[in-house]
Structure 1
């Protein structure tokens, strides 16, 4: 019974509307064990007939049956399966993949089988040894002679144990010695029970087989059997075809990437620079946020809520509230608390302690004929962090804590500590109950030094001292801020919201500011700045994406013949798309790795320099930044490869195989 049947095959090419018939009704049957030569002159339709038999040409009329099953040439998946499991190709021009060594060239076919990795490698090695290349296993195609290349092609054709071997002018580029050896190998293949079909224009080559089919002008001119088919008794290896795995695609992509590493390294470097800039700016944003948080937390108790009067009576956001406070700075009477309001705040749920206080805008310190004018003096409360005072102690009655920077300005870096326990004159402006300006002045004992650092100077007295100073100067003694300490830090935000919601006669009484509010506002500005800088740096990623697109299009052009080879071996369009997207993704991953190295090196250098100035690591790259960089690299490189990969997958295998 025939294994392969061709019935009434017609094929024409068209130039415009003009038809050029190539095959004009071919009827042929082939059996396993035959070594059939299709003999004819160039242009007679031999190669077209082979493309139809091999499942590469889909546009023809007629029927092809393999092992009794009708092949539907309109179903691409069925033809992919047919080529993968039934057909092995041997070409005149060898069609080996240049960036792979000869073992890997054979493995291209074996990767579409159910063998495990070890067995695939062993079979590839055994086949190459059988064709006389056991001592050439590590070589690439460009290191082999023509005869050796053809032997690699034969080994690859046999690798998946196909039942049909198609050899298109297999000896056309060989000398007589190599021709005889190749024909002997093909005869042995047929003797093992496979169907060998060779296309040739040489009568000598045709005489070597079991049967000669003469093709002339698109028709069968003669069909002569030279000898009966070989017995199909040889035991065949148990190898089953399967679709190419994603891992095999990525391995092939990595091999090509490695083969052209130095060219691709320029693209990787360009992409890495863009990723590095985004990563570095994100790290700087993290560092600045952490620095500000550290500075604020070093001065302010995170369990505290600072309450101020709401001068408008309207419900305001934190930003709006701060703006309103600034507008009422010239009329501080609108911001003063009554004793009843202080008691109202004591009743708020989860409040631990309520401390009334004073916060004055400006003041002057005088010490030994030197004056230092600053802004922002307030009374000591639990809102201050425990380590706010760097030396000395919190202010008691008639005592004051001044900032280290102020002390140095009034004395010197070396002698400022001698001021501890000394008297210093404090002068500050305030108002009386008639809203008239009053000058408040007193001498207080220096109890300690604070270090506001980058956040500004800290000067503070206790509540009793400030109240006595105001009373003695006949100034208004009503407080203008209240510090509330919350029992549990988890309740701070809830307490602040409860305070903001307090109303009298339909008007909102208070604004409340927490450490979290301050940090949120600052972090928002820092984040915006970081995003803007990262976006500017991200422009380079767009350029990198364009570079990858161009590179992938170049790769498709350079690898057109390879695409044809892979399709002929049974790879699907999906596999070709994945081959190019995989290579692009690998470029992205290597770029991300390089960017991480550059970013960490830059962060170490910058932190080393800046730590001497601010005593803080100002570049902090987080795991989230690293994950974002890797994901961004993968996404950008994958998207950049989509169009080139689509173009590659849509190439006609026959046209691709004929590419130079």
Structure 2
């Protein structure tokens, strides 16, 4: 049975205007092993079209091209890939070596696409390169060897998978006379080794080496002559087929991508650095928000007892809000209580909550322009009168201690205004509580310096002292704050949750902090979103560069397809490149963000004793993952374009 047989093969092209041009007309040929066939003809005669058909680069034809009895025109994409890997090898006029790969890597590429192990493919490639006389040039790049040596590399690449058919397209067209004779002798020996070698040429000298010359003109075979018979021998070109396993693996495609990126190293580093700017900005914005939030939370937690929950009555609408506003307009000394008072039933309800060990009554009153503290001829206004409880810790008392009977504690800002060494001194406190004017002489027990209270000057005293003062002034006092003391810090959250379920309000300070935290989160995400615009720019940049890469490597893509590369393999290589760009961009971005965070935290710690940026491992990993995702999404379109390139057109591209 012939190795290859063509039966009534016709090939037509669509041309401008919807017309059809028939390039091949009723081709009938049969080829045997051990033949060296030259297909000759003028330019435009159809010989290159015939070469593309028998090589499986173009499967759109009419008729049959039978290889071992199977019509390659009926092959699926998978079958064609196997045909290129196992049955046919190509030798091109312009060599079509991949410039950034070494001689050895160019030859092993065909086996890399078959996932042959590195040891096996290098052993096989070195054996073939030794046969063609290039054992001393294994690690040179194509630009470092002569034209004749390049064609020898191309021949080695065609032979490395031990195919049955070798197709040579003008194999000596780019060589001088002496080198031409050497290459033709080598090709003749390959045919004598029992392979079918088909050369497409217009040179009579090349045809003279052939055992058979087929002349084609205007798409038809016009002559088919026998030449000098070849002696089929078992010579040096006889080798064992490589042990093929599968298709190109993900690791293999990543290695090829790394080699490709190494060729344009400076450009790829700049792309990665450009992409890192967006990642760095987003990470820094999120870390800044996290740092400020953590500082706020830590500050709040440091000022309160973790065993205590603060409770307020729910807000109630006044019966006559208009009348209340008019009264305040007429009497600016009227105080503004923070919330409604608790009744006995409310206190009993709260005391029955599970894990509540004790209940403390408290009172707070907030007003503007009605409160004044005086000492030694100096006076300062304050906004809040608050009773002390187990909620307040001694952590932020900068001087003295918590007030006992007949004592008050004032904020540091008030103390700075009234004078030095106030602890132990008597001051005058004038305030309005529940519309009752109080004029108290109290001893200063301590100075409160919590940063959260810096904006609100406050006088702290015992609930019993305030209650007694109200009774002496003819009024009364009911608690408007309840403090629930838990028997276990771990139960505090559940107590707060139960308080909310019962319809009461929690700590106003915590509510303000939570609101501020939410606002800070929104602000952080807005800044991160603005910074994220640069990620879009990065994606566009990567998309553009990979498109340029597809154009630059069009011929390389054609070569890969000719030696058995699948569309999936081409996509994998380009997607792997975009993955690596994204990985390096993310790593650069995290590294730069980390360096800047160290500088910023060193400065903020020096001036404010606070580390303002909290760059967590989660942010770092998320930044790298985000960079990879953006880069790979940007690389999908160029990868798809590369995979769809027509190998015939790709190999024709200069």
The reply to whether TM is greater than 0.5 is: yes
State whether residues 55 and 73 of structure 1, in contact with CA within 8 Å, keep that contact through their aligned partners in structure 2: no
State whether residues 9 and 28 of structure 2, in contact with CA within 8 Å, keep that contact through their aligned partners in structure 1: yes
State whether residues 305 and 512 of structure 1, in contact with CA within 8 Å, keep that contact through their aligned partners in structure 2: yes
What residue in structure 1 maps to residue 84 of structure 2?
A: 83
**Change in CA separation of 1:240 and 1:376 when aligned onto 2, cut-off 3 Å:** same
Q: How does 1:245-264 map to 2 (within 5 A)?
A: 245-264=249-268
Per the TM alignment, residue 73 of structure 1 is displaced from its structure 2 partner at its CA by 4.2
**Change in CA separation of 1:551 and 1:13 when aligned onto 2, cut-off 3 Å:** same
What residue in structure 2 maps to residue 427 of structure 1?
A: 430
What residue in structure 1 maps to residue 24 of structure 2?
A: 23
What residue in structure 1 maps to residue 329 of structure 2?
A: none
What residue in structure 1 maps to residue 499 of structure 2?
A: 499
Question: Structure 1 residue aligned with 2:302, among 291, 295, 298?
Answer: 298
Partner SS for 1:477: coil
Per the TM alignment, residue 405 of structure 1 is displaced from its structure 2 partner at its CA by 4.0
What residue in structure 1 maps to residue 518 of structure 2?
A: 524
Per the TM alignment, residue 520 of structure 1 is displaced from its structure 2 partner at its CA by 3.9
Query: Residue deviations 1:333-387, cap 9 Å, x none?
Result: 9611233422232112221221101112254333333333233342222222452
Measured in 1, the distance between the counterparts of 2:453 and 2:354 equals: 32
Partner SS for 1:561: helix
What residue in structure 2 maps to residue 323 of structure 1?
A: none
What residue in structure 2 maps to residue 376 of structure 1?
A: 384
What residue in structure 1 maps to residue 597 of structure 2?
A: 603
Per the TM alignment, residue 429 of structure 1 is displaced from its structure 2 partner at its CA by 2.1
**Change in CA separation of 1:295 and 1:47 when aligned onto 2, cut-off 3 Å:** same
What residue in structure 2 maps to residue 348 of structure 1?
A: 353
State whether residues 244 and 575 of structure 1, in contact with CA within 8 Å, keep that contact through their aligned partners in structure 2: yes
Q: Does residue 1:178 correspond to 2:179, yes or no?
A: yes
Measured in 2, the distance between the counterparts of 1:231 and 1:8 equals: 33
Q: Does residue 1:560 correspond to 2:560, yes or no?
A: no
Q: Which segment drifts farther, 177-186 or 365-374?
A: 365-374
Measured in 1, the distance between the counterparts of 2:271 and 2:118 equals: 32
Per the TM alignment, residue 537 of structure 1 is displaced from its structure 2 partner at its CA by 0.8
Question: Structure 2 residue aligned with 1:452, among 438, 450, 453?
Answer: 450
Question: Structure 2 residue aligned with 1:582, among 576, 586, 594?
Answer: 576
Measured in 1, the distance between the counterparts of 2:118 and 2:459 equals: 75
Per the TM alignment, residue 12 of structure 1 is displaced from its structure 2 partner at its CA by 2.0
Measured in 2, the distance between the counterparts of 1:481 and 1:118 equals: 79
What is the TM-score when the length of structure 2 is the normalising length? 0.90
State whether residues 394 and 401 of structure 2, in contact with CA within 8 Å, keep that contact through their aligned partners in structure 1: no
Q: Which segment drifts farther, 524-533 or 200-209?
A: 200-209
Question: Structure 1 residue aligned with 2:228, among 213, 226, 229?
Answer: 226
Per the TM alignment, residue 244 of structure 1 is displaced from its structure 2 partner at its CA by 1.4
Alignment gaps of 5+ in structure 1:
315-328, 503-507
Q: How does 1:60-459 map to 2 (within 5 A)?
A: 60-73=61-74, 75-220=76-221, 221-228=223-230, 230-231=232-233, 234-240=238-244, 242-312=246-316, 332=337, 335-361=340-366, 363-385=371-393, 387-411=395-419, 416=420, 418-431=421-434, 436-446=435-445, 448-454=446-452, 456=454, 459=459
Per the TM alignment, residue 102 of structure 1 is displaced from its structure 2 partner at its CA by 2.0
Measured in 2, the distance between the counterparts of 1:356 and 1:212 equals: 112
Per the TM alignment, residue 241 of structure 1 is displaced from its structure 2 partner at its CA by 6.1
Per the TM alignment, residue 313 of structure 1 is displaced from its structure 2 partner at its CA by 8.2
Per the TM alignment, residue 453 of structure 1 is displaced from its structure 2 partner at its CA by 1.8
Partner SS for 1:396: coil
Query: Residue deviations 1:532-589, cap 9 Å, x none?
Result: 0011111111111111121122111111111111111111112222222221222111
Partner SS for 2:312: strand
Partner SS for 1:617: coil
Measured in 2, the distance between the counterparts of 1:36 and 1:268 equals: 51
Q: Which segment drifts farther, 399-408 or 607-616?
A: 399-408
Alignment gaps of 5+ in structure 2:
319-333
Measured in 2, the distance between the counterparts of 1:638 and 1:267 equals: 14
Query: Residue deviations 1:104-152, cap 9 Å, x none?
Result: 2222212023431122233333333332333333322222221121122
Measured in 2, the distance between the counterparts of 1:147 and 1:571 equals: 26
Q: Does residue 1:617 correspond to 2:611, yes or no?
A: yes
